[in-house]
Homo-oligomer: A and B are copies of this chain.
């Protein structure tokens, strides 16, 4: 069960600024958090509120379709997921954390020809399943890769290419949905009231994970627990982050899991917070230019990279550690003659070392007046990860409410797309494209 370790925040005073007296803050803010919770639950019925992610863990029908399809795809050894942003980050985070082995997943969430070339050279089309993921069905990067893989499949397999391509997209709208209908492809729905970065537990995440052999039932079970405990855990952690930013001038939020397998979660966390909270206007329409800066880090690796800055640099950062109570498989460090300089490690395990590093870093930061708190999960299994994922979505929703911004849109990414279309000469953008090229 996910737990918060919050002690020590009161001791991180800097100059005239006091530490965070969490008990009294929690008492003061509790009515407001309750009201936000109630409002989120009530507005969830309104599709325009984009709160569909709250109900996703209850959707056992979508899950059954995913599992049925995965069972029928025993012929596949490699799954190539074409998707970017919310169509890749949450699923990759789960894949790295759970590390299921039934099939190998490859996430292509970029446009660099070299790694795409390399991957194409390694794959056997006969045993490769391609899954194209895009909420709108019109994402340029995903479309470009789809064109390449669609041709590659047909060149190798002829008419049989259709069995090797599935799509995850809007249930009715967009070019991907239309194409799947026309060609009779397997197609899975992202509910219209679930945004990309909140779609982790829809088929965006469950389809790749079920194909790889993860226990997707347990994933949703954990997420339902996070729904029940949202006020107790997610609201509290959101409040801490909000207070540290607004009232203790810590606008940089470092998310630092211990364990390489959890780094993908940190990368998704960065997207969740950046796109949800980085907003020009608040809910009343006034200019605010708000939003903490999320920084994905990894322990103990980044003790050898970012820690110097975290401990001695500006007092503008708060750290959220993510730790596991147990590692599953572990490795014992043997005694080796001639390496007695490392006797303190002999007989210990790799996980013991990792935990000592985590604890040492937590204390060293607190002593330097740098606030942090810890999210504890039992282990990196499907149930714990499902709870963690839904917790992070709730945390983001509470943060949106506290900052007073719409956490469920992303208006600031449009202009870059429009310019890219213009430079590519897409119909309707020719004039702008001409102007941009003249300026360059």
Chain A residues within 8 Å of B, Cβ to Cβ: 84-86, 89, 99, 109-118, 138-141, 143-148, 150-151, 175, 178-179, 182-183, 196, 251-252, 259-261, 267, 270-271, 274-275, 277-280, 289-291, 293-295, 298, 300-301, 303-317, 327-331, 333-336, 338-339, 341-346, 348-357, 359-361, 363-365, 367-368, 380, 410-413, 415-427, 436, 440
Contacts of A251 in B (CB 8 A): 314, 316
SS class, residues of chain A in contact with chain B: helix
CA distance A310 to B261 in the complex (A): 28
Contacts of A344 in B (CB 8 A): 421, 424-427
Are B85's CB and A305's CB within 8 A? yes
The oligomer's copy count stands at: 2
Q: Given A360-B420, A419-B364, A110 and B300 touching (CB < 8 A)?
A: yes
CA distance A315 to B288 in the complex (A): 11
Q: Given A329-B113, A350-B111, A274 and B308 touching (CB < 8 A)?
A: yes
A114: contacting residue among B313, B328, B440, CB under 8 A: B328
Contacts of A261 in B (CB 8 A): 112, 114-115
**How many Å from the CB of A143 to the closest CB on chain B?**
4
**How many Å from the CB of A133 to the closest CB on chain B?**
12
Residue in B closest to A433 when the chains form the complex, CB atoms: B356
CA distance A86 to B343 in the complex (A): 24
Residue in B closest to A315 when the chains form the complex, CB atoms: B289
Residue in B closest to A98 when the chains form the complex, CB atoms: B114
**How many Å from the CB of A122 to the closest CB on chain B?**
11
A333: contacting residue among B144, B277, B419, CB under 8 A: B144
Are B112's CB and A350's CB within 8 A? yes
